Amino acid sequence: MKAERKFEAVKDASHLYEVERRARHAERPGFRISELQLSPSQTVPWHYHTNISDTFYVLEGQMRLFLQNPKQDVRLGVGESFVAVAGRPHLVTNAGEGSLTFLILQGVGEYDYVPLV
Protein backbone atom coordinates (compact mmCIF):
# COMPACT_ATOMS: atom_id res chain seq x y z
CA MET A 1 0.00 0.00 0.00
CA LYS A 2 1.38 3.39 -0.99
CA ALA A 3 1.90 5.82 1.90
CA GLU A 4 0.04 9.10 1.49
CA ARG A 5 2.25 12.18 1.68
CA LYS A 6 1.24 14.81 4.23
CA PHE A 7 1.84 18.45 3.35
CA GLU A 8 2.09 21.14 6.00
CA ALA A 9 -0.10 24.23 5.69
CA VAL A 10 1.43 27.64 6.34
CA LYS A 11 -0.31 30.91 7.25
CA ASP A 12 2.13 33.11 5.27
CA ALA A 13 3.58 31.80 2.00
CA SER A 14 5.46 34.96 0.96
CA HIS A 15 8.83 33.37 1.81
CA LEU A 16 8.19 30.30 -0.38
CA TYR A 17 8.41 31.97 -3.80
CA GLU A 18 9.73 35.19 -5.31
CA VAL A 19 7.67 37.82 -7.11
CA GLU A 20 8.57 41.21 -8.60
CA ARG A 21 6.09 42.96 -6.33
CA ARG A 22 3.50 42.07 -3.70
CA ALA A 23 0.95 44.42 -2.14
CA ARG A 24 -2.02 43.88 0.20
CA HIS A 25 -4.97 46.13 -0.69
CA ALA A 26 -7.53 44.95 1.85
CA GLU A 27 -7.75 42.46 4.67
CA ARG A 28 -10.39 41.55 7.18
CA PRO A 29 -11.15 38.31 9.02
CA GLY A 30 -11.84 35.64 6.41
CA PHE A 31 -11.09 37.73 3.31
CA ARG A 32 -8.20 39.57 1.65
CA ILE A 33 -7.23 41.20 -1.62
CA SER A 34 -3.60 41.15 -2.76
CA GLU A 35 -1.79 42.28 -5.90
CA LEU A 36 1.11 40.28 -7.30
CA GLN A 37 3.47 41.02 -10.15
CA LEU A 38 5.40 38.16 -11.76
CA SER A 39 8.29 38.38 -14.20
CA PRO A 40 8.18 36.04 -17.24
CA SER A 41 10.33 33.49 -15.34
CA GLN A 42 8.45 33.51 -12.02
CA THR A 43 5.67 31.20 -10.87
CA VAL A 44 3.49 30.65 -7.84
CA PRO A 45 4.26 26.95 -7.20
CA TRP A 46 1.78 24.09 -6.93
CA HIS A 47 -0.41 24.51 -3.86
CA TYR A 48 -3.96 24.52 -2.62
CA HIS A 49 -5.98 26.16 0.15
CA THR A 50 -7.98 24.10 2.63
CA ASN A 51 -10.84 26.55 3.26
CA ILE A 52 -10.70 29.41 0.76
CA SER A 53 -10.97 29.95 -2.96
CA ASP A 54 -8.57 32.07 -5.03
CA THR A 55 -10.18 34.45 -7.49
CA PHE A 56 -7.63 35.73 -10.02
CA TYR A 57 -8.21 38.96 -11.96
CA VAL A 58 -5.58 40.03 -14.52
CA LEU A 59 -4.64 43.73 -14.58
CA GLU A 60 -1.69 43.53 -16.99
CA GLY A 61 -0.06 40.79 -19.06
CA GLN A 62 -1.02 37.16 -19.65
CA MET A 63 -1.64 34.50 -16.98
CA ARG A 64 -1.58 30.76 -17.35
CA LEU A 65 -3.08 28.60 -14.61
CA PHE A 66 -2.56 24.87 -14.34
CA LEU A 67 -5.08 23.03 -12.17
CA GLN A 68 -5.60 19.47 -10.97
CA ASN A 69 -8.69 17.48 -9.96
CA PRO A 70 -9.62 17.71 -12.80
CA LYS A 71 -6.64 18.74 -14.92
CA GLN A 72 -7.21 22.09 -16.58
CA ASP A 73 -5.07 24.67 -18.41
CA VAL A 74 -6.53 28.19 -18.25
CA ARG A 75 -5.19 31.29 -20.02
CA LEU A 76 -6.30 34.75 -18.90
CA GLY A 77 -5.73 38.20 -20.37
CA VAL A 78 -6.40 41.70 -19.09
CA GLY A 79 -9.85 41.99 -17.51
CA GLU A 80 -10.41 38.23 -17.28
CA SER A 81 -10.89 36.24 -14.08
CA PHE A 82 -10.98 32.67 -12.84
CA VAL A 83 -11.79 30.97 -9.52
CA ALA A 84 -9.74 28.09 -8.11
CA VAL A 85 -12.01 26.57 -5.46
CA ALA A 86 -10.86 25.42 -2.03
CA GLY A 87 -8.94 22.14 -2.15
CA ARG A 88 -8.12 22.34 -5.87
CA PRO A 89 -4.35 22.30 -6.54
CA HIS A 90 -3.12 25.07 -8.84
CA LEU A 91 0.04 26.68 -10.20
CA VAL A 92 0.22 30.25 -11.55
CA THR A 93 2.61 31.26 -14.34
CA ASN A 94 3.31 34.32 -16.43
CA ALA A 95 2.41 33.41 -20.02
CA GLY A 96 3.69 36.64 -21.57
CA GLU A 97 6.97 38.32 -22.42
CA GLY A 98 6.53 41.20 -19.95
CA SER A 99 5.38 41.40 -16.34
CA LEU A 100 2.09 39.88 -15.24
CA THR A 101 0.10 41.88 -12.67
CA PHE A 102 -3.02 40.43 -11.09
CA LEU A 103 -5.34 40.77 -8.14
CA ILE A 104 -6.05 37.74 -6.01
CA LEU A 105 -9.17 37.72 -3.86
CA GLN A 106 -8.99 35.07 -1.15
CA GLY A 107 -11.86 33.94 1.04
CA VAL A 108 -14.23 33.44 2.58
CA GLY A 109 -12.58 31.60 5.46
CA GLU A 110 -9.27 31.20 7.25
CA TYR A 111 -6.25 31.51 4.90
CA ASP A 112 -3.73 28.73 4.56
CA TYR A 113 -1.29 27.72 1.83
CA VAL A 114 -0.53 24.04 1.39
CA PRO A 115 2.55 23.53 -0.85
CA LEU A 116 2.62 20.38 -2.98
CA VAL A 117 6.37 20.23 -3.50
Q: What is the largest CA-CA distance in the chain?
A: 47
- This prediction has a pTM of 0.89
Of the candidates 96, 21, 106, 89, the one whose C-alpha atom is nearest the C-alpha of residue 63 is: 96
CATH 2.40.50.320 fits domain 21-115? no
Domain segments of the chain: what residues? 21-115
Say if CB 91 and CB 97 are below 8 A apart: no
In a structure prediction context, what are the per-residue pLDDT tens digits for the chain, which is 117 residues long? 444 455 678 887 777 889 999 999 999 999 999 999 999 999 999 999 999 999 999 999 999 999 999 999 999 999 999 999 999 999 999 999 999 999 999 999 999 999 997
Q: Is the peptide bond before 70 cis (omega within 30 degrees of 0)?
A: yes
In this structure, is the dihedral angle defined by the CA atoms of residues 35, 41, 42 and 44, taken in order, positive or negative?
positive
- DSSP secondary structure letter of residue 86: T
